Amino acid sequence: VDRVLAGRIDDRFATVHLGGLNLDPREARAVRRVKILGCGTSYHAGLIGAQMIEELARIPADAEPASEFRYRNPVVDPDTLYIAVSQSGETYDALAAVQELKRKGARVLGVINVVGSAIAREADGGVYVHAGPEVCVVSTKCFTNTVVAFGLLALHLGRIRDLSVKDGKRIIEGLRKLPGQIAEIMESEPEIKKLAQEYADAQSMLFIGRVRGYPVALEASLKLKEVSYIHAEAYPASELKHGPLALIEPAMPTVAIVPDDDLLEKNRAALEEIKARSGRILAVAHQEQEKADRTIIVPKNEDELDPILMGIPLQLLAYHTALALGRDIDKPRNLAKSVTV
């Protein structure tokens, strides 16, 4: 995270510098919509990025799996800024989506880890996330850095559009706190290891989160699936009552993302619904949750940056669950470093 922030924040003016972006202020002001494309973890980071761009730059934004986008003959709109996200920069579905967009005359930026990779070469500009090599096949630190890069990008776009000047300082101070707060979370690893051992007997797990918490739930469930092979499903907390509550029973624990923001009471109500059906709950929150059986407490940052911190203990949870089950974490079955088909 230090690396993705390095040199990009100006002390005096709290301005964000994104040198390789290749998007001049006139072009940035003309953007009417942002569409983010990526696969797996990169798609989930893009979902958080889209929310940040809406919140901090007030530009309508959404994310879609690149693998779906490339097959559905999408409308390519000249006023939309397309952003491709990829750790490896080589994932074929993401590359194919970028090539299709470029063929149709779209402007495409990349939020990429590997410098000089195929998608980085194909894109018109973008941001490198400097997460270093992902030693394991699954993307972890790159997820974190990608979301931080989106925070910088959202601020940059907001500034160019003369917005979020006050928010800018607040968010920049929040970004600066991240490395220390991440170190704090890493100190709770022994506690998370114990929790992983406690929950490793689950056949299936439900992950829930609302708005900012939903992409975190998606990513945490993907991490668990990828490395531990436990079935895990993510749902927006607001959708619980539209079906998934039927699944709640003691054999299927729920991991709930419960940040201290303006949705706290709504999220607590969801915990009550689960408890009323004898569901076991592991909460990731900023304070102890009374309805949860266990709570992992993470440090509070600015609301918009909470997803960055809340994902990390759940990466650790997936890792220690996989270890407890004797899985080969560095070589998860059926997963390739950069998916080529």
Phi-psi region of 92 (alpha: psi -120 to 50; beta: other; left: phi over 0): alpha
Residue 200 touching ligand F1P (CB under 6 A): no
Could you say which DSSP state residue 213 is in? H
Phi first, then psi: give them for residue 258, nearest 5 degrees. -130, 75
Shortest reach from residue 143's CB to ligand F1P, in Å = 8
- Closest approach of Cβ 175 to ligand F1P, in Å? 22
Report the nearest approach of ligand F1P to the CB of residue 144 (Å). Answer: 13
Distance separating alpha carbons of residues 298 and 306, to the nearest angstrom: 9
CB of 88 to ligand F1P, least distance (A): 3
Nearest residue (CB) to ligand F1P, 98 versus 155: 98
Residue labelled with tokens 């918009």: 304
- Give the interface segment with ligand F1P, choosing from 103-111, 135-143, 230-238, 302-310 (CB under 6 A): 135-143
The closest alpha carbon to 19, from 152, 147, 161, belongs to 152
**In the set 14, 96, 137, 264, which binds ligand F1P (CB under 6 A)?**
137
Q: Are strands 80-86 and 33-38 parallel, antiparallel or unpaired?
A: parallel
Strands 107-112 and 80-86: parallel
Catalytic annotation on 241? no
Q: Shortest Cβ contact with ligand F1P: which residue?
A: 40
DSSP 140: S
Looking at the Cβ atoms of 139 and 301, the one nearer to ligand F1P is: 139
Q: Which of residues 264-323 bind ligand F1P (CB under 6 A)?
A: none
**What is the residue type of 252?**
M
Residue number with CB closer to ligand F1P (141 or 159)? 141
Q: Which is nearer to ligand F1P, 139 or 315 (CB)?
A: 139
Q: Is 87 in the site for ligand F1P (CB under 6 A)?
A: yes
Provide the CB-side half-sphere exposure for 322 (13 A, CA).
23
In the complex, minimum distance from the CB of residue 63 to ligand F1P, in angstroms, rounded to a whole number: 13
Taking the least distance from each CB to ligand F1P, the nearer of 40 and 168 is: 40
C-alpha–C-alpha distance, residues 38 and 44, integer Å? 8
Task: Say how far residue 281 (Cα) sits from the centre of its chain.
Answer: 22
| Closer residue to ligand F1P, CB minimum distance, 287 or 340 | 340
Contact between 181 and ligand F1P (CB under 6 A)?
A: no
Report yes or no: 2 and 179 within 8 Å, Cβ to Cβ.
Answer: yes
191: how many CB neighbours lie within 10 A of its CB? Answer: 14
| Residue 31-70 contact track with ligand F1P, rule CB under 6 A, x = bound | --------xxxx----------------------------
Nearer to ligand F1P by Cβ, of 27 and 122: the residue is: 122
DSSP category for residue 1: -
| Cα–Cα distance measured from residue 295 to residue 250, given in angstroms and rounded to the nearest whole number | 17
Binding piece for ligand F1P, criterion CB under 6 A, among 83-91, 177-185, 232-240, 294-302 = 83-91
Closest CA to 228 of 304, 326, 91, 301: 326
Query: Which one among 144, 289, 315, 338 touches ligand F1P, defined by CB under 6 A?
Result: 338
Choosing from 28, 94, 123, 230, the residue that interacts with ligand F1P (CB under 6 A) is 94
Query: Does residue 329 bind ligand F1P (CB under 6 A)?
Result: no
- Using rule CB under 6 A, residue 96 touches ligand F1P: no
Smallest distance from ligand F1P to CB 247, Å: 25
User: Within 10 Å of residue 338's Cβ, how many Cβ atoms?
Assistant: 18
Cα 203 from Cα 119, distance rounded (Å): 38
Residues in touch with ligand F1P (CB under 6 A) = 39-42, 86-88, 91, 94, 137-139, 335, 338-339
Q: Which residues are catalytic?
A: 337
